[in-house]
Amino acid sequence: MTRLIVVRLLFGALTLWAVSLVVFAATQALPGDAAQMILGRDATPERVEALRDQLDLHEPVAVQYLNWLQGIVQGDLGTSYSNRTEVTEVLSGPVLSSLTLMGLAALAATPVALLVGAVSALRRDRAFDHASSMGTLVVASIPEFVVGILLILLLGPGGLGWFPSVYSREGGPDQWVLPVLTLAFAVAPPIVRMMRATMIEVLESEYVQQARLKGVDERAVLWRHAAPNAIGPVAQVVALQLAWLAGGVVAVEFLFNFPGVGKILMDAIENRDVPLVQAVVLLIAGIYILVNLIADVIGLAANPKVRVANR
């Protein structure tokens, strides 16, 4: 099992490296001279030259990449063009807010989703089941920013006016409601469906039937026999949803003007702020890969066939 995990980890690292390569190559294609960008229009040629040396822009691309990579490894993501400060500094705040946002969304969505999923599995083919399956289907299909806008139209200033539709520095906690809600809606459906599917599969399985035929009472059947086998895939899908969030926040943050990585990314793209774009994309990809990895590991760990070496 540990071997499997190590292998997974290695692949994760490999992927991340490949991603860094892609990102670097991509951003190299951007027009504009870094030094010029940083110093701005009215910088004297001398200073530009000096900076170019300092940024070793004269070096061949390969070297530049290596330096860049080295920098990243050492946690130095370079200097943002737009506001000439350390990228790490620029990002620290937004990353925190984004993580908080994602965390809240996950916290809001997961328990409800699991409950709904389990109930519809137990009430299979009854009204509740149909309702929930329809509901999840509908919600799942709508792009998250559309969900967001619908929420705004409904609960925002234009509608019932319960919650503000844009985030601002001096706004109260109520401005978190709509973004969190939107993301929660985006995250929940797959969890519900997976929970339902696995529960049904497990409950239909021969070993649960056998447990029943053994005369084990229902609670034990559910908790001792069904649950352990259902936990794996569900946990996995939950993790995957979190991974999705890493990319999903962008549109939502943009919509609610929420000061997180997503918005930073949009601004960075707007301003052709290469180092920032690189950093954010890498960051998001990194989180994405990491969480996927965790999902894998959970999947493995939950499976005794893997957990316990075969004889």
Partner 1 sequence: MSAPVNAGVEPVTVVPRGRGAGLFRTAWGFGRTKVGAALTGLIVLIAVVGPFVAPYTPTEFVARPFETGVDGTLFGGDNRGRDVLTRFLWGGWTLLLLAGASAAIGVAAGTVVGVVAGYRRGWLDDVLMRVGDVLLAFPQLIAALLVMSIVGPKVWLIVAVIAVSHMPRVARVIREATRKVVEQDYVKAAEAVGLPRWRIMAVEILPNVTSPLLVELGLRLTYSIGVVAVLGFLGMGLQPPTADWGLMINENRQGMAVQPWAVALPVAAIAVLTIGANLITDGLSRAAIGIDRGVEK
Partner 2 sequence: MSSLSEGPRPTLLSAPSRRSLLKASAAGAVVAPVLAACGGDSGSGGSGGGEPQRGGRLRVGVAGGGVNDTLDAHDPTDNVDIARNFALYAGLLRYAADGAIENNLAESVEPNEDATEWTVVLKEGLTFHDDSPVTADSVVFSLRRILDPDNPLRGAGDMDGVDADGLEALDGRTVLIRCTEPTVTLPEALAEYYNCVVPEGYDPADPVGCGPFRSVEFVAGEYSLFERHEGYHEEGLPYADELEIVDFPEDDARVNALNSGSVDLITQVPHAQVAVIEGNPDLAVMESETGMWLPFTMRVDQAPFDDVRVRQAFRLIVDRQEMIDQALAGYGQVGNDMYARMDPSYPDDFEQREQDIAEARRLLAEAGHGDGLEVELVTSDISAGVVAAAEVFQEQAREAGVTVELRRVNPSDYWNEEEGFPYAFGQDFWSARNYITQAAQGSVVGAPYNETMWGENEEWLGHLEEARRTADPDERNELIRRAQRVEYEEGGYIVWGFVNLLDGHSTAVHGLEPAVSGHPLGSYAFHRAWLEQ
Partner 3 sequence: MTRDAGREADSGGGRDTGAAVLSVEGLTVIGRPSDVEIISGVSITVARGTILGLVGESGSGKTTLGLSLLAHCKRATEISAGRVEVAGKDLASLSERGVRELRGRAVAYIPQSPASALNPALRLRTQLREALHDASLSAADAQARVREVLGEVALPDDDGFLARYPHQLSGGQQQRVAIAMAFVGRPDVIVLDEPTTGLDVTTQAHVLETIRRMTRDYGTAGVYISHDMAVVADLADEIAVMYRGEVVERGRTDRVLADPRHSYTRRLLTAVPLLRTTGHEEGGEPEGEPLLRVAGLDAGYGRTRVLDGIDVSVHRGECVALLGESGSGKTTLSRSVAGLHRQYTGEVVFDGSPLAAGSYRRTAEQRRRVQYVFQNPYEALNPRRRVRDQILGPYRHLVGRPRDPGAVVAEALERAALSASYADRYPEQLSGGERQRVCIARAVATRPDLLICDEITSALDVSVQAEIVKLLRGLQDEGMALLFVTHNIALVSNIAQRVAVLHRGVIVEQGPVGRVMSAPEHEYTRALIADTPDFELSFAGAPERLGMAAQDRPVTGA
The least distance separating partner 1 from the CB of residue 221, rounded to whole angstroms, comes to 25
- Residue 5 phi/psi, 5° resolution? -60, -45
Q: x/- site string to partner 1, residues 79 to 108, per CB under 8 A? A: ------------------------------
CA pair distance 299, 295, nearest whole angstrom = 6
Kindly state the smallest distance separating residue 19's Cβ from partner 1, in Å.
5
User: d(Cα 204, Cα 242) in Å, to the nearest integer?
Assistant: 29
Binding status of residue 138 toward partner 1 by CB under 8 A: yes
What's the start-to-end Cα distance of the chain, in Å?
14
Three-state secondary-structure class, residue 86:
strand
Residue 296's binding partner out of partner 3, partner 2, partner 1, none, with CB under 5 to 8 Å set by partner kind: none
Please choose which of partner 1, partner 3, partner 2, none residue 207 contacts, taking the beta carbon within 5 to 8 angstroms, the exact cut-off set by kind: partner 3
The two three-digit tokens of residue 15, written as one number: 């992927």
Q: What is the DSSP string of 167-197?
A: --TT--GGGGHHHHHHHHHHHHHHHHHHHHH
Residue 100 vs 168, nearer CB to partner 2: 168
CB of 39 to partner 1, least distance (A): 22
The backbone region for 212, taken as left when phi is positive above 0, alpha when psi lies in -120 to 50, beta otherwise, is alpha
- Chain residues binding partner 3 by CB under 8 A are 204-217, 220, 224-225, 228-229, 303-305, 308, 310-311
Q: Is 146 near partner 1 (CB under 8 A)?
A: yes
Among 50, 216, 227, 266, binds partner 2 (CB under 8 A): 266
Q: Which residues in 220-259 contact partner 2 (CB under 8 A)? A: 254, 257
Q: Among all chains, which residue has been given the structure tokens 């792009």?
A: 143
Cβ atoms 260, 101 nearer than 8 A: yes
The pattern of x and - marking residues 270 through 289 that bind partner 2 according to CB under 8 A reads xxxx----------------
**CA proximity to 253, closest of 125, 61, 102, 136:** 102
Residue 172: count other Cβ atoms within 10 Å of its Cβ.
Answer: 9
Binding mask 80-119 vs partner 2 (x if CB under 8 A, - otherwise)?
-xxxxx----------------------------------
